[in-house]
Amino acid sequence: MNMRSGIAAYDTWQMGRVTVMDAVVAVASKPGVMAHGGADAPAGMLAEAVAARLPSAVGVRSLHLGSGNGLVPAVAQAVGFAPLAFDRYSANAEATKRSLLASAPQGEHDGQPSPAVFHAACVNPHVEAGSCELATIRIPTDKLGVQLAVVEAFRALAVGGRCLLAGANDEGAKPAARLLEQLFGAARLEDQHSGCRMLSAVKTREAPGDEALTHIRWLDGDAFTEQPVVAGGTSFVLATRPGVFSWEHLDEASGILADLMRVDDGESVLDLGCGAGVLGVVAARLTPTGSVCMLDADADAIRCAQRTARLAECSNVDVRASDVCRAVAERTFDVVVSNPPFHLGKGTDLAIPRAFIEQAHARLHRGGRLYLVANRTLPYERLIAEVFGEVRTAHDGRRFKVIGGVRRA
């Protein structure tokens, strides 16, 4: 395999034309973007519903939570709305921005400000209360994330505004429907097929049906849970938020890797897919005169990792939002450590860990080391062998393995 061609394939954007009723839009995609290589039925339901709802005036604001590849906000833009789009994952946020720019009416994007796309998990403080006439929610897979999205949509909508919510049944669409009814007072099933459903609700008054839902502490973007942990022989406080990987406890696999990775003082370390910052803080403690860079695609993971590093008093840490290694494309490191994601929504996508392995190799100095932890059933040895020319195994346990390689050239 040509490694450079693999990296290029992951980083190459594709544009497709999609027709939804009378709206024709361009949708951007690449590996790592939601629904890449296929269609997302819930997003399709939302797009059709938006296309059928022409606004009473051009420029009416619409809010889109979980914007994915940008299909739904692009359709909203095509029928006259001024969309505000949010996604917590950097590749999705970039796809949405590209979709909106490519779908803008001919000439309208020239000299105009960039689309209102936010790489963020929280709407507040970016959107004023009562400022939107339409809100769409492509539900996330975690229960608290759904709850927060419904509450934020209610807050952003003006009285008379409509909320549309869609997701797969096995992602929690039925409980989400109950949440919608609790907050708005009533909800209606608009569509269901392919194991998915879409519901709608209208905001009929300023006060929500269930006041308790609006007092969830996580609506404050500065609210974190802080838990003491021990990893890699050092203790520190881990700051997390809902939706961040393993946010309620120290992930077993990361704990195993923290105990086994070798980092010498003075070395530079890249923590690729850092989550809340466990591996990065352990590395920073191991190389006090060196440096650690933590990267993650999840906007809230970045904020958690930054706080974890501050609480641990690690001044040699730099935390950045990044789609794999894009944010450090010009840098190289002595060590790369990673507990890479392999899920995209509910599915498994090996294009993501392949990109992690290829880009880790590209970011290592000659002689630099990769340490990667994974579920032992995942076929990462083949991927590492293709890129590094060898596989080194540091741990082969009942559930997890720690494997890697050394860059030779």
Domain definitions of the chain by residue range: 3-218, 225-406
The pTM of the full predicted model, rounded to 2 decimals, is 0.93
How far is Cα 171 from Cα 175, in angstroms, rounded to an integer? 9
Cβ-based neighbour number of residue 53 at 10 Å: 17
| Phi, psi (rounded to 5 degrees) for 6 | -65, -45
Q: Write the CB contacts of 2 (distance below 8 Å, at least 6 apart in sequence).
A: none
From the number of C-beta atoms within 10 Å of its C-beta (0-12, 13-18, 19+), residue 30 rates as buried
> What is residue 382's predicted lDDT score, i.e. its pLDDT?
94
Written as six digits, the tokens of 27 are 């949708």
Per-residue pLDDT of the chain (409 residues; tens, 9 = 90+): 455 556 778 889 999 999 999 999 999 999 999 999 899 999 999 999 999 976 666 789 999 999 999 999 999 999 999 999 999 999 999 999 999 999 998 655 455 557 899 999 989 889 999 999 999 999 998 888 999 999 999 999 999 999 999 999 999 999 999 999 999 999 999 999 999 999 999 999 999 988 878 888 888 888 999 999 999 999 999 999 999 999 999 999 999 999 999 999 999 999 999 999 999 999 999 999 999 999 999 999 999 999 999 999 999 999 999 999 999 999 999 999 999 986 544 445 678 889 999 999 999 999 999 999 999 999 999 999 999 999 999 999 999 999 999 999 8
> What is residue 56's predicted lDDT score, i.e. its pLDDT?
61
One of 3.40.50.300, 3.10.129.10, 3.40.50.150, 3.40.50.2300 is the CATH number of 3-218, namely: 3.40.50.150
The 3-state DSSP class for residue 257 equals helix
Eight-class DSSP state of 88 = S
How far is Cα 321 from Cα 304, in angstroms, rounded to an integer? 12
> What pairing do the DSSP bridges indicate for beta strands 343-344 and 333-338?
unpaired
> What is residue 141's predicted lDDT score, i.e. its pLDDT?
84
The 3-state DSSP class for residue 76 equals helix
> What is residue 106's predicted lDDT score, i.e. its pLDDT?
66
From the number of C-beta atoms within 10 Å of its C-beta (0-12, 13-18, 19+), residue 266 rates as exposed
> What is residue 71's predicted lDDT score, i.e. its pLDDT?
98
> What is residue 299's predicted lDDT score, i.e. its pLDDT?
96
Residue type, 405: G
> What is residue 108's predicted lDDT score, i.e. its pLDDT?
52
How far is Cα 260 from Cα 396, in angstroms, rounded to an integer? 12
CATH code for residues 225-406: 3.40.50.150
> What is residue 125's predicted lDDT score, i.e. its pLDDT?
83
> What is residue 3's predicted lDDT score, i.e. its pLDDT?
54
> What is residue 216's predicted lDDT score, i.e. its pLDDT?
83
Domains 3-218 and 225-406 fall in the same CATH topology: yes
Q: Write the CB contacts of 289 (distance below 8 Å, at least 6 apart in sequence).
A: 265, 266, 316
Written as six digits, the tokens of 218 are 């996580």
Q: Write the CB contacts of 337 (distance below 8 Å, at least 6 apart in sequence).
A: 257, 261, 263, 269, 270, 271, 272, 279, 283, 370, 371, 372
> What is residue 113's predicted lDDT score, i.e. its pLDDT?
59
